[in-house]
Structures are given as C-alpha cells and as structure tokens.
Amino acid sequence: MIITSLAQDELMKEYKVVVLGSGGVGKSALTLRYVQGLFLTRYNPTVEDFYRHHTRLDEEEVTVEILDTAGTEQYSSMHQLYIDHGQAFVLVYAIDNKQSFRDVEPLLNQILDMKKTRNYPIIVVGNKSDLEDLREVDREQAERTTKDLWLVPHIQTSAKEDYNVTEMFRRVLRMINSYQNKQQAAKRKQYQKSESGCCVLL
C-alpha cells in the first residue's frame, strides 16, 4: 500500500510548543532559527505566529507545532488561550534585560495554576547569549533561581549565533515524551489498582 505524503504527515507524532516571554527577548528569532534556519535583524513585533515543522527526534519523524506569541502587555489577556493550547512551554528572557527575567515567574505560575501540576514540560531560556558584554542577568543566579526555586530546567541560547537553539527544542520535545509516559504509567497503575479491588460474587 502506498502512503501519500499527507497520510504520512497525519501519522507523525505531533508536539505542541508555546513560546512565551516579554517583548523583544527574541521569541520569534528563536522560532525562525529553529524552523527555517534564518536570523532576521529586523521584523515587526509579533501578534501571533504559528509554525509547523517536520524534524527527526530519536530516530522518529515527528511534527512540531510552535505557537510564537506576542510579548506586549496589550496581548497578555491571550495567555490563557496560549496555555490551553500547549503541551510544553518555552519561557524566554533576554540576558541583557533584567526585567524580562522578572517577567518569567508570573508566566510560570499562570501555567502551573492552569495545568494543575508542578511537573509540566517547561523550560526557561536565557536568549541573546552573544550579548555577554551587555549582560544584566547573572547566569549562575538565573540557573539557581530556575532550578532550585522554580524547579524547571534552564538553558542559554543565541538565535543570532544559532547557539543551543536546536538543542533547546529537542530537549523540550523529550520533556513532553517523558511527561506523557509518566501520565500513561500513572493511568495504568490506577486502572490496575481499580481492577484488583473488584470483587466477584458467586
């Protein structure tokens, strides 16, 4: 049987990733670098962009749906819709903008509140690592905050230099796999427990 390209696309496992963060931190730059291999020095502020990207993850062909969101305050009311959509979240700040790092925690808390779990696939990304001379967010302090207080992983990237961009997205996809596997295992365990508690009356 011949499978068309459309059918193959439908059979691929799909991942839904949402990129959030303040305006100007490089959310679109990271997304475009990953999806198209491009770095644009100028572009209009994003309202909302949606990308589908086919890639290979651990010997499997998969489809990644990326929602690149607005960072301005006027669109903050859309966050609930973005969070409903996502299987994983990339929370981006710029290393040369301390306020953008402060803006991450409210986003994180909103996601955890809506998803009702502390273990959802989330990664904090310090972008623009090529601007080391302009750094306002200390790397070690950011890593301690994200890992020890927020309990989520942290990675530094540069969309301009294509540093850690693909690695970051691959890590996020593996986090989705891990989370889904744990959820399925918990459901199986709960089912087995309920089955073992049944009584048969003769």
Angle between helices 165-196 and 27-36 (to 10 degrees): 90
**Contact indicator for 72, 23 with CB cutoff of 8 Å:** yes
pTM: 0.86
How far is residue 78 from each of residues 13, 64, 73, 74, 175, measured CA to CA in Å?
27, 21, 10, 9, 24
pLDDT in tens, the chain (202 residues): 343 444 455 578 999 999 999 999 999 999 999 999 999 877 666 556 899 999 999 989 999 999 998 765 555 667 788 888 899 999 999 999 999 999 999 999 999 999 998 889 999 999 999 999 999 999 999 999 999 999 999 999 999 999 999 999 999 999 999 999 998 887 877 767 666 665 555 5
Kindly list the domain boundaries of the chain, sorted by start residue.
5-196
Q: For the domain bounded by 5-196, which CATH number is listed?
A: 3.40.50.300
Burial label for 101, CB within 10 Å (0-12, 13-18, 19+), is buried
